[in-house]
Amino acid sequence: MPMEYNNKNIILNELIGLRVKISSSVDRKERGISGKVIDETKNTLSIDTKEGRKSIIKSRAVFIFYSGKKSFKVNGEEINFRPYERIEKAMKFYKRRSLQ
């Protein structure tokens, strides 16, 4: 059964496979990039776009993740952890996020 994402748990769960768009970034060239998350490291998300693979530094961007028809805005600092460490380390951000 697929994971049901919501605004709170999006930062704790698997991001690979989700559609994503960069809503803002320190680097103006990255703004508006969209595609599918294909890999993740501690500091970057790799996104498969129409123009090829792009690596985006998490801490410098704000992302909009899409799961089905739902979308979730996430500040890169909230997910700037290794995927397997995210549950433990992102709890402080999880507690601050609303369910909306």
DSSP one-letter code for 55: E
Which residues, 6+ apart, have CB-to-CB distance to 88 below 8 Å? Answer: none
56, 47 Cβ separation under 8 angstroms: yes
Token pair 């693979």 is at which residue?
A: 53
Strand (E) positions, the chain? 19-25, 34-40, 44-49, 52-57, 61-67, 70-75
Structure pTM?
Answer: 0.89
Residue 64: is it exposed, middle or buried by C-beta count within 10 angstroms (0-12/13-18/19+)? middle
Architecture of the structural domain at 9-96: Roll (2.30)
The residue ranges of every structural domain in the chain are: 9-96
pLDDT, one tens digit for every residue, the chain (100 residues): 356 888 989 999 899 999 999 999 999 999 999 999 999 999 999 999 999 999 999 999 999 999 989 999 999 999 999 988 888 888 888 888 887 6
